[in-house]
């Protein structure tokens, strides 16, 4: 909900401040429709594009200069006008990764024209520095949205706002908010999984519904619940399990208490919940299947002005049941740890303001069964229990036109083989970086960058000794590494130039060209569930390259359409081993409120 056109506050020392929303409408809007139709092959009249400026500005009218009426103001109060612009539609639902967003957003803008809770400097960018995932008008976690401002009763132009704040008492201290998402996804693969999965020319389709309610009892207590159901179909489909076809069940159900302690905004969350307080290249929301990732347990957090801490202990939700409301806890898979994020003092670089965040974290996994298995000699899979201890740091932020993120993780732990209980130590690592710049005074809002990732490999032929293969089992962000999902964060080196342009306030286009190598030729090529088994022996290091493009169109506040296309071109050595190049296309049509 946008601020009212003008709000005037009278300072007792005769200073007057005017807060106004400044909307810019130009003739360019009319020219957007045919271009969008060409880009997305839709009729030009599908929806009205968003409008408004990209950033807030500050203008001051000093004493002694002309005011709006053209008169001198020497004897009048000082006027300061702050323009809070409408949010660009493409930032309605920001994606993960603070670097390379379609447009930059300040923390003040996120609070004024978005719906994130007030976390101070941690609201900057896409808001994920606060630890609750990206939040714009809507968030990846709907309970991270703050709709309490609707309590003022100001008129809204959005018909769905009547569902976002419903007072249950006369005072309005007890209220409920509803949220919902329906996603239609279809994708085509000419040679699925590098040619190892049949049939060829597979077309799959999935639909999911996520609908929730958020009950607030005063400012210190809330209850959140969310339901999920999903289905899948298509031609030549494969891999449909309980995370694609799901009868009605509880996706999230938790209680949260909030209070102020030691000068910090503090909270405790207990129950089934999403967890997003980790780098998205390490752990995210399980985007490809219909059913997102959820956890059962507790989380506690404290947020000060420039530092925050977070601790958690979870077991994974057991979501493999095919009956209604039968999901329970999977005690064989655990996630636990803590995170500290520090926001150093702001600075100036190349004449522009800059800021950054420094994360230091420990994240532990416990895995068993097929998720805990490792690659063994002769292409076998060795089952056992797998404990991984991740100690990591990440530094990310903005320095003038530069945007950056660099992180490193050392992964220790122990693997115990199921057949004989033999213990093997783990020593693995990951190094991740993205560096880019926004071209100044560019009408396309161009961002140019380079992404590099290294995930250590080991030696699958070893029957004992230290394991060197890094694993990241909890669904890193799908499009961070490879939109096809054929590659995963194990035994991999990736180098990817990228360019993003945002020619309109509602449309953003990204082109990316990743190249992939194995870190160790003694370890297989890994996929999201295990590792590849080719007909022949793959001896090479270079896996291939996957040029890819994405087009995101925020049609209006509630409807978006995102498309991805990629051509995975396998190397000659991989082709000789039985791999195959292939084309991948995915379309996502999403309604949310």
| Span 221-272, pLDDT tens digits | 999 999 999 999 999 989 898 999 999 999 999 999 999 999 999 999 999 9
Mean pLDDT taken over the chain: 88
Q: Which residues share a beta bridge with 208?
A: 183, 230
Closest CA to 464 of 414, 504, 514: 414
Given a cut of 60, is residue 301 above it in pLDDT? Answer: yes
Confidence of residue 157 (pLDDT cuts 50, 70, 90): confident
Instruction: Give the DSSP letter string of 226-280.
Output: EEEEEEEEEES-----TTTSEEEEEEEEEEEEEEEETTEEEEEEEEEE----S-T
User: What's the rounded mean pLDDT across residues 73-88?
Assistant: 53
Only one residue has tokens 């990764």, namely: 97
CB 114 within 8 A of CB 144: no
Range list of H helices, 401-557: 478-481
3-state secondary structure (DSSP) of residue 522: coil
Given a cut of 70, is residue 216 above it in pLDDT? Answer: yes
In angstroms, the CA 175 to CA 162 distance is: 12
| Bridging pattern class, strands 79-83 and 16-20 | parallel
Given a cut of 80, is residue 469 above it in pLDDT? Answer: yes
Instruction: Give the DSSP letter string of 102-139.
Output: SS---HHHHHHHS-B---GGGGSTTSGGGSS--BSSSB
CB 577 within 8 A of CB 534: yes
Percent of the chain with pLDDT over 90: 79
Given a cut of 50, is residue 45 above it in pLDDT? Answer: no
Q: CA torsion, points 266, 270, 273, 274, in degrees to nearest 10?
A: 30
User: What's the rounded mean pLDDT across residues 418-432?
Assistant: 96
Least confident of 106-120, 447-461, 539-553: 106-120
Residues 6 or more apart in contact with residue 185 via CB below 8 angstroms = 205, 206, 207, 290, 586, 587, 588, 589
Confidence of residue 77 (pLDDT cuts 50, 70, 90): very low
In angstroms, the CA 134 to CA 95 distance is: 6
* pLDDT recorded at residue 134: 96
* pLDDT recorded at residue 197: 94
| Span 333-378, pLDDT tens digits | 999 999 999 999 999 999 999 999 999 999 999 999 888 999 999 9
CB 392 within 8 A of CB 366: no
CB 66 within 8 A of CB 73: yes
CB 513 within 8 A of CB 527: no
Given a cut of 70, is residue 296 above it in pLDDT? Answer: yes
* DSSP summary character for residue 511: E
Q: CA torsion, points 557, 558, 561, 562, in degrees to nearest 10?
A: 80
Assigned token pair, 356: 């950054």
In angstroms, the CA 584 to CA 188 distance is: 6
Given a cut of 60, is residue 82 above it in pLDDT? Answer: no
Percent of the chain with pLDDT over 70: 86
CB 210 within 8 A of CB 255: no
Least confident of 9-18, 173-182, 339-348: 9-18
Given a cut of 50, is residue 494 above it in pLDDT? Answer: yes
User: What's the rounded mean pLDDT across residues 451-475?
Assistant: 97
In angstroms, the CA 425 to CA 388 distance is: 10
In angstroms, the CA 290 to CA 273 distance is: 16
In angstroms, the CA 284 to CA 434 distance is: 18
* pLDDT recorded at residue 322: 85
| Beta carbons within 10 angstroms of residue 34's beta carbon | 10
Closest CA to 339 of 438, 387, 407: 407
* pLDDT recorded at residue 89: 95
In angstroms, the CA 536 to CA 578 distance is: 6
Confidence of residue 321 (pLDDT cuts 50, 70, 90): confident
CB 147 within 8 A of CB 164: yes
Which domains are delineated in the chain? 6-82 (no CATH), 222-229+247-592 (2.40.160.100)
User: What's the rounded mean pLDDT across residues 16-24?
Assistant: 33
In angstroms, the CA 148 to CA 103 distance is: 26
């Amino acid at each position: 909900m946008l601020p009212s056109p003008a709000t005037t506050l009278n300072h007792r020392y005769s200073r007057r401040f005017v807060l106004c929303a400044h909307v810019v409408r130009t003739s360019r809007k009319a020219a957007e429709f045919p271009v969008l139709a060409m880009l997305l092959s839709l009729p030009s009249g599908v929806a009205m594009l968003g409008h408004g400026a990209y950033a807030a500005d500050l203008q001051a009218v000093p004493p002694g200069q002309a005011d709006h009426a053209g008169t001198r103001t020497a004897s009048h109060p000082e006027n300061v006008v702050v323009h809070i612009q409408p949010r660009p539609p493409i930032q309605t639902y920001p994606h993960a990764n603070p670097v390379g967003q379609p447009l930059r957003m300040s923390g003040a803008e996120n609070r004024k024209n978005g719906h994130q809770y007030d976390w101070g400097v941690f609201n900057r960018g896409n808001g994920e520095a606060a630890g609750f995932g990206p939040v714009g008008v809507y968030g990846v976690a709907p309970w991270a949205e703050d709709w309490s401002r609707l309590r003022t009763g100001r008129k809204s132009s959005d018909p769905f706002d009547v569902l976002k704040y419903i007072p249950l008492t006369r005072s309005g201290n007890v209220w409920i908010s509803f949220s919902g998402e329906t996603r239609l996804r279809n994708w085509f693969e000419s040679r699925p999984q590098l040619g190892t999965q049949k049939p060829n020319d597979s077309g799959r389709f999935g639909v999911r519904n996520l609908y929730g309610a958020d009950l607030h009892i005063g400012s210190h207590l809330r209850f959140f619940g969310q339901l999920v159901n999903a289905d899948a179909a298509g031609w030549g489909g494969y891999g449909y399990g309980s995370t694609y076809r799901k009868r009605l069940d509880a996706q999230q159900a938790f209680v949260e208490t909030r209070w102020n302690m030691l000068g910090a905004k503090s909270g405790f969350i207990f129950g089934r919940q999403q967890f997003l307080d980790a780098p998205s290249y390490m752990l995210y929301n399980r985007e490809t299947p219909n059913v997102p990732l959820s956890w059962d347990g507790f989380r506690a957090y404290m947020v000060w002005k420039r530092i925050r801490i977070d601790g958690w202990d979870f077991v994974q939700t057991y979501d493999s049941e095919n009956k209604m409301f039968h999901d329970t806890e999977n005690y064989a898979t655990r996630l636990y740890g803590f995170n500290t994020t520090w926001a150093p003092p702001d600075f100036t670089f190349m004449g522009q303001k800059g800021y950054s965040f420094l994360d230091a974290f420990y994240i532990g996994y416990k895995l068993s069964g097929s998720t805990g298995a490792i690659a063994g000699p002769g292409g076998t899979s060795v089952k056992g229990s797998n404990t991984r201890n991740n100690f990591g740091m990440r530094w990310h932020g903005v320095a003038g036109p530069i945007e950056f993120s660099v992180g490193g993780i050392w992964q220790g732990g122990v693997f115990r083989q199921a057949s004989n209980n033999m213990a093997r130590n783990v020593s693995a690592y990951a190094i991740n970086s993205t560096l880019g710049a926004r071209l100044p005074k560019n009408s396309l809002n161009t961002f140019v960058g380079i992404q590099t990732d290294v995930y250590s490999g080991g030696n699958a032929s070893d029957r004992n000794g230290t394991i060197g293969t890094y694993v990241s089992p909890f669904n890193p962000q799908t499009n961070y590494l490879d939109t096809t999902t054929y590659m995963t964060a194990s035994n991999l080196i990736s180098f990817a130039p990228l360019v993003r342009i945002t020619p309109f306030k509602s449309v953003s286009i990204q082109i990316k060209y990743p190249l992939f190598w194995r870190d160790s030729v003694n370890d297989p090529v890994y996929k999201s569930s295990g590792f590849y088994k080719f007909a022949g022996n793959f001896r090479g290091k270079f896996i291939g390259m996957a040029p890819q493009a994405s087009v995101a169109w925020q049609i209006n506040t509630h409807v978006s359409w995102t498309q991805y296309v990629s051509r995975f071109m396998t190397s000659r050595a991989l082709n000789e081993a039985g791999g195959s190049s292939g084309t991948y296309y995915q379309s996502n049509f999403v309604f949310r409120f």
